Chains A and B, each alone.
Chain A
Amino acid sequence: MPVTPETFVALIPELVALGFLVLVLLLGVFVPRSAAVPAALAALGSLAVFGSAVVLLAAGFSGEFFGGAFVVDGFALYFKLVVSASAFFTVLAAARWSGGTGDAPEYMTLILSVVAGSILLVSMRDLFGIFLAIELATIPSYAMVAFDRSRRESSEGGMKYLITGVIASSVLLYGIVLIYGVSGSAQLSEVAQAFSEGLSPVALLGLVLLVSGFAFKVSAAPFHFWTPDAYQGAPTSAAAFLSVAPKAATFAVLLRILLEGMPEAAPAWTAVMAFIAILTMFVGNLFALRQRNVRRMLAYSSVAHSGYILAAFAALQGPALSTGVQAVMIYSAAYAVMNLGAFFVIDLVGDDGKSYNGLLKTRPGIALSMGVFMAALVGLPPLSGFFGKLYVILAGAQSGSVLVYVVVGAVVVNSVLSVPYYFGIVRNMFFEEPGGGEPGVSGSGALRFSVYALAVATALFFLVMGPLAALVSGAGLV
């Protein structure tokens, strides 16, 4: 496997991310007490990753490298776009905050290393490589959660996330090892061969442990319980970013493993996915119903949305295969814009539901944006969330399996179930009098810019739906 110039071209996004990571880190050493420069550099880095992925995508670049362990295709590039765009907005939103703590270079470095891990992850086609990339994305995220030293919940959340995360990682690794033991190779194509010869109990156990590990990473029930603690404790920008970017990448690589590595075992894993999806949706929404703390509510909401995406996994069978893959891709992008925006508004306004009272009167721009995000999270058309759900439901309807119909039914039931808690916020903003004094809306111009930009993106998602649909239907795995 010779390393050709093409190999470097394929690695450009990752190399760019790592380059900027090192730059930002060094900057912290040599130019201490500077907040604006690291943030600007990190934003530039995210944009550079985004740009390089766009160029690769536009050029139609694709291929396998390092003996097939690293792959560049439309699917991987699409998720690199999602991750880097999320990172860009996160960096903007966090610019002033991390400056305030005096640790801007470190925080930006952590964001960039999560980016590096995530974009590497979506290109991996080798189980051990996948594990390494996941850890590359996860370990900095523990630090991100625990980053806010001014709040105790932050280090508490980080600690819980770390301890449970390590256990989940070991479960995942154990699953990978068992699969490796069965197939004699960690390459997905060879794993697929081993799985095509019938399912041995060990292979099945490997599958179960693998899926369990991934379920933890995407905060699917019953492995979700770290999510509310971690997101409530984490700095808001960290919670926003972690609930979107690494999660999208993890979904992508899980899709790749299941479709490329074990297509023959589809009946088994679609059933597991259906089970997890239903459980996750209900757990997320039911627990979110009575949350007073908006941040915690959004954490449970992110659990529920993982459930919706997993519903698309359950539909990956029969004629729905292609639509199912597209559903995961569309949902990831749609969720990214609306959820990042919603978290950033929390950063501006606060996480007490009461601080949203009368926001339409005092801060109409922020209130309208939050209204758009909440309506999108419910799945109201024509906002972004609607198209995510639409794809999931279409995929389910095409699958032709009764179990998947049940899952789709659960998606519909859950979107009704989720109305009260999202619209509780809308109600506070639109239908309540402002509380005593001005609400503590603060935050930098960059943060407000992020909120408005994401609100526009969420509201006008239907305009880009056409090109986006063309992109994902051409870039699907199958």
Chain B
Amino acid sequence: MTQTLGGQLILTAIPAIPALVFVVLALFGRYLRENAQYVAIFGMVFSLVFSVTALGLVISGGGEPISFAVPWIDLGEGGAFPMGIYIDGLAAVMLVVVSFVSLMVQLYSGAFMEGDPRFAWYYAVLNLFTASMLGLVVAPNFIQLYVFWELVGLCSYLLIGHWFEKRSARDAAQKAFIVTRVGDAALFVGIIIFWAQTGTTSFDGISQAAQAGFIGGSLFTAAVVLVFVGAIGKSAQFPLHVWLPDAMEGPTPVSALIHAATMVAAGVYLVARTYDIFVQSPTAMLTVAYIGGFTALMAATMALVKKDIKRVIAYSTVSQLGYMMLALGIGAFSAGMFHLYNHAFFKALLFLGAGSIIYAMNSYNLTEMGGLRHRMPLTFWTMVVAGLSLAGIFPLAGFWSKDAIVASAFEDHFYVLFGMALLTVFLTAFYIFRAIFMAFTGEPRTEAAREAEDPPGIMTLPMVVLALLAVASGWVGIPESFGLPLRDYFAEFVAPSGFAAETLSATFGVEPHGFSFGLAVVSVLVGLGGIGLAYVLYVARPALSGSLARRFSGLHAFLDKGWYFDAFYGATFVRGARALGRATNVFDRRGLDRGVGGVGRGIQGLGEFLRRLQTGGVQNYALFILLSVLVLGIVVGAVAGAAYTVLVVALIAVVTLASIAWGVRL
């Protein structure tokens, strides 16, 4: 669908406005100070309005994607890269979700960050973060996507480390950046393989080239899996999930944004965006499904015993992203994206709720809370709504998407994944209500908990709005076979392409299926069971949980330490890198450059200086040059096949030159 110039400008403005706000705040933040929030919110309202406009345009166009592009980099014979915008149903929904959640977070942050010495800078980076994510969503090709992909990572680095007075925040920022960059490197290699084989980086172009057989076999699978590794890094999937819990060191509203709409959603979005490519490789699809399923289960177990409320929610995100990956991997495209969309609202709400508690009592620690229900009723009820939605209890938003995923796994005969998913439902309900019960019920365990209060008005507004959405956002995607006189708008609007649907049914036997009441009842009962167990252990018989933890102390520690992933990476990669760094350092300082430090000290005249040079580094350098020439000669000789001749000649040359050098005596 083509657009008028005005329409194109409006669509371009969606990511451009927050980018502009970033520039303004970065340059003039010093003068704006706390007024920065009004500039930012003003800009974000426009972004949201334009995003809704884009959604309207796509809907009124009958789901036809909007796309336009301008030429950008022209390699001559080598090819060309355009720069453009591509908005289909999937992208339009993402735009609205991202700009909406970002607006909520920015509304909330004003009071939360009050008095922060870098208030304007915080808002500046928050806007660049949002702009990058919006730019990523509308990218029509891999190169453009990669640009914004990296920007998202850079901004998260700055935001996670925002409270750098804490050493742990600096370390967490560094860790997030480096771990995700491992994934980014893999993504980049995947992109280059696609480009080298097909001559294009556009999602559509690569998909068509693969269908036409320009790229196939194991190389194709490798490229798709490499792209997925990029998604693993960004979406914190096993085995690159270690950065996300540490990222809790950032301000809590940032966590809400990272976990709900930007950054971690980028990985899932990437797989969905390139779904036409993924479906052509059954191996890659299964990799996605099993990595997702395993991550969902693994992260849920890690969340069971955490004492830090933000970390419970953080592991919950890892787990829920695993769900989405699982759904995409088994061909339940709409269900996966539906879950991403619902998750954005209730997860943002959970974080804002946690933020309110932290705001009120300045502690993350669940064991220091207790009895907050009476002191913070609004926070309590919104958290319960979000928790129920996360646990997938009928008829809240989370139920519809979670049930769709679990049912797809069952109906399409992925029974192992189905088992993982169902077990995760139980664990999810348990850990989130464990946290809620520990924080809100019983007796206050500290003085701070006794004095806690609901946050001021402006901060509650986003919470109430998000709570309404946590209940109702899923109602746009109620399956028609459920029996209500409603259409399944979401699945109609965010559907896999015709090609993807055909391939899925041909290779996986994935067929559309109706709503299964039996499965829904089972998954809701499992969820209620989790809540019930949490009630028994933390409200009815609180002593029991302590004795269980003592009895299974080994298991408890295993879960609490996140299955010892950090310890493992620390012992292998981090120590290895440090050792390598030390080794080169020794070589630099004491090996070749021994002369440098020595010469710098205590030399009076040039004569002395020359004398020292002669015995110092330079002669080594000269010898080194000659040796290197010899090495190069060997390489060339080996390549050209004239090894012996060249070796002999080179040796003679080296001897000649060395004697010249010696004769000169420097």
Query: Which residue in chain A gives the minimum CB-CB distance to B195?
Result: A397
CB–CB A287/B147 < 8 A: no
Write out the residue numbers on chain B whose beta carbons fall within 8 Å of the beta carbon of A432. 164
Known: A225-B624, A368-B26, A430-B164. A474 touches B593 (CB 8 A): no
Q: When the two chains form their complex, are residues B645 and A201 in contact, meaning their CB atoms are under 8 A apart?
A: yes
The reply on A466 being an interface residue by CB < 8 A is yes
Shortest A165–chain B CB gap in Å is 10
The main secondary structure of chain B at its interface with chain A is helix
8 A-B pairs within 8 Å (CB atoms) are namely: A171-B629, A205-B633, A209-B629, A215-B628, A290-B585, A290-B588, A423-B157, A430-B164
**A477, CB-defined interface residue at 8 Å:** no
Q: Given A201-B645, A322-B77, A430-B158, does the pair A419, B177 have CB atoms closer than 8 Å?
A: yes
Stretch at the interface among B276-284, B364-372, B415-423, B634-642: B634-642
Residues from chain B with a CB closer than 8 A to the CB of A211 are 632
In chain A between 266 and 282, which residues have their CB closer than 8 angstroms to a CB of chain B? 267-269, 271-272, 275-276
* Shortest CB distance B603–A (Å): 7
B273 within 8 A of A: no
Q: Is A207 positioned at the interface, with any CB of B under 8 Å from its CB?
A: yes
- What is the 8 Å Cβ interface bit string for chain A, positions 362-397, against chain B (1 contact, 0 not)? 001000100000010000111000110010011101
Interface residues of A in 419-478 (CB under 8 A from B): 419-420, 423, 427, 430-433, 462, 465-466, 469-470, 473-474, 476
User: In the complex, A382→B596 CA distance in Å?
Assistant: 38
* B609, A156: Cβ atoms closer than 8 Å: yes
Chain B window 620-654, contacts with chain A (Cβ cutoff 8 Å), 1 for yes, 0 for no: 01101101110111011101101001100110010
Q: A153-B600, A171-B657 are in contact. Are A204 and B642 (CB under 8 A)?
A: yes
B618 touches A397 (CB 8 A): no
CB distance from A160 to the nearest CB of B (A): 5
Q: With an 8 A cutoff between CB atoms, is B146 at the interface?
A: yes
B146 and A381: CB pair below 8 A?
Answer: yes
**A251 at interface, CB cutoff 8 A:** no
The answer to whether B613 and A159 touch across the interface, beta carbons within 8 angstroms, is yes
Encode B11-36 as 1/0 by CB contact (under 8 A) with A.
00000000000000010011000000
B189 touches A164 (CB 8 A): no
Query: Does B582 touch A at the CB level, under 8 Å?
Result: yes
Q: Which residue of A lies closest to B649 (CB)?
A: A205
- Complex CA gap A171/B628 in Å reads 11
Q: Is the CB of B625 within 8 A of A168?
A: yes
Residue of A nearest to B167 (CB): A431
Give Cα distance in the complex from A226 to B609, angstroms.
17
- In contact, B195 and A267 (Cβ under 8 angstroms): no
| CB <8 Å contact, B653 and A209 | yes
Within 8 A of A (CB), among B574-593: 577, 580-582, 584-585, 587-588, 592-593
Q: How far is the CB of B565 from chain A (nearest CB, A)?
A: 20
B158 to chain A, nearest CB (A): 7
Given known contacts A375-B154, A381-B147, A427-B170, A204 and B164 CB-to-CB distance under 8 angstroms = no
With an 8 Å Cβ cutoff, the count of chain A residues facing the other chain is 86
Does any Cβ of B come within 8 Å of A61's Cβ?
Answer: no
- Whether the Cβ atoms of A208 and B26 lie closer than 8 Å is no
B174 partner, pick from A153, A155, A223, A427, beta carbons under 8 A: A427
Given contacts A286-B584, A416-B182, contact A473 B74 (CB under 8 A): yes
Q: What's the count of A-B pairs with C-beta under 8 Å?
A: 225
Instruction: For residue A224, give the distance in angstroms from its CB to the closest CB of chain B.
Output: 10
Query: Which chain B residues border A393 with CB–CB below 8 Å?
Result: 188, 192
Which residues of chain B have C-beta atoms less than 8 A from A423's C-beta?
157, 174, 177
B600 touches which of A152, A216, A390 (Cβ 8 Å):
A152
A246–B223 CA distance with the chains assembled, in angstroms: 39
* Nearest chain B residue, comparing its CB with the CB of A368: B26
Cα separation A144 to B287 with both chains bound (whole Å):
58
| Structural contact, B78 and A322, CB atoms closer than 8 A | yes
**Is A301 an interface residue when CB atoms closer than 8 A count as contact?**
no
CB atoms of A326 and B629 under 8 A apart:
no
Closest 8 CB pairs of A and B: A473-B76, A431-B164, A397-B196, A381-B147, A290-B585, A323-B78, A201-B645, A222-B628
B residues with CB within 8 A of A: 26, 29-30, 71-78, 117-118, 121, 143, 146-148, 150-151, 154, 157-158, 161, 164-165, 169-170, 173-174, 177-178, 181-182, 185, 188-189, 192-193, 195-196, 577, 580-582, 584-585, 587-588, 592-593, 596, 599-600, 603, 606, 609-610, 613, 617-618, 621-622, 624-625, 627-629, 631-633, 635-637, 639-640, 642, 645-646, 649-650, 653, 657, 660-661, 666
Once the chains bind, are A156 and B599 in contact (CB under 8 Å)? yes
Q: Is A18 an interface residue (CB 8 A)?
A: no
Cβ of B640 and Cβ of A204 under 8 Å apart?
A: yes
The yes or no answer to A244 lying at the interface (CB within 8 A) is no
Contacts of B621 in A (CB 8 A): 160, 163-164, 225-226
- Chain A residue with Cβ nearest B147: A381
Chain A residues near B636: list those with CB within 8 A: 204, 207-208, 268-269, 271-272
Most B CB contacts (10 A, CB to CB) among A155, A156, A226, A408 go to A156
Pair B73/A164 contact, Cβ less than 8 Å: no
Bound CA–CA A159/B666 (angstroms): 11
Q: A287-B588, A382-B151, A420-B178 are in contact. Are A466 and B72 (CB under 8 A)?
A: yes
**What is the interface of chain A, defined by CB distance below 8 A to chain B?**
152-153, 155-156, 159-160, 163-164, 167-168, 170-171, 174, 199, 201-202, 204-205, 207-209, 211-212, 215-216, 222-223, 225-226, 228-229, 267-269, 271-272, 275-276, 286-287, 289-291, 319-320, 322-323, 326, 360-361, 364, 368, 375, 380-382, 386-387, 390, 393-395, 397-398, 408-409, 412-413, 415-416, 419-420, 423, 427, 430-433, 462, 465-466, 469-470, 473-474, 476
**Shortest beta-carbon distance, A461 to chain B, in Å?**
11
Known: A204-B640, A271-B636, A322-B78. A160 touches B618 (CB 8 A): yes
- Report the separation of the CA atoms of residues A86 and B76 in the bound assembly, to the nearest whole angstrom: 27
Residues of chain A contacted by B618 (CB below 8 angstroms): 159-160, 163-164
Contact indicator B195/A394 (Cβ below 8 Å): yes
Contact A323 B75, CB 8 Å, known A163-B666, A205-B633: yes
Which residues on the A side are within 8 Å of B646 (C-beta)? 201, 204-205, 208
A305 to B419 alpha-carbon distance, docked (Å): 51
Task: Say whether A201 contacts B649, CB under 8 Å.
Answer: yes
Checking A201, A207, A412 against B188 with a beta-carbon cut-off of 8 angstroms, the contacting residue is A412
CA distance A476 to B645 in the complex (A): 36
Are B76 and A326 touching (Cβ within 8 A)?
yes
**Residue of A268, A322, A433 with most chain B CB atoms under a 10 A cut-off:** A268
Q: Cβ of B582: which chain A residues have Cβ within 8 Å of it? A: 290
Once the chains are docked, how many angstroms separate the CA of A394 from the CA of B636? Answer: 25
Residues A415 and B653 in contact, CB atoms below 8 Å apart: no
Beyond the given pairs A215-B632, A229-B596, A322-B78, 19 more chain A to chain B contacts, judged by CB atoms under 8 angstroms and listed by A's residue number, are A156-B599, A156-B600, A159-B610, A160-B613, A164-B622, A174-B657, A223-B628, A228-B588, A287-B584, A287-B588, A319-B77, A322-B75, A323-B75, A360-B118, A387-B73, A427-B170, A427-B174, A430-B161, A473-B76
Q: Name the B residues within 8 Å of A269 (CB-CB).
A: 636
- CA of A413 to CA of B645, assembled, Å: 36
Chain A residues in 8 Å Cβ range of B164:
430-432
Contacts of A381 in B (CB 8 A): 146-148, 150-151
Q: A420-B178, A433-B165 are in contact. Are A409 and B584 (CB under 8 A)?
A: no
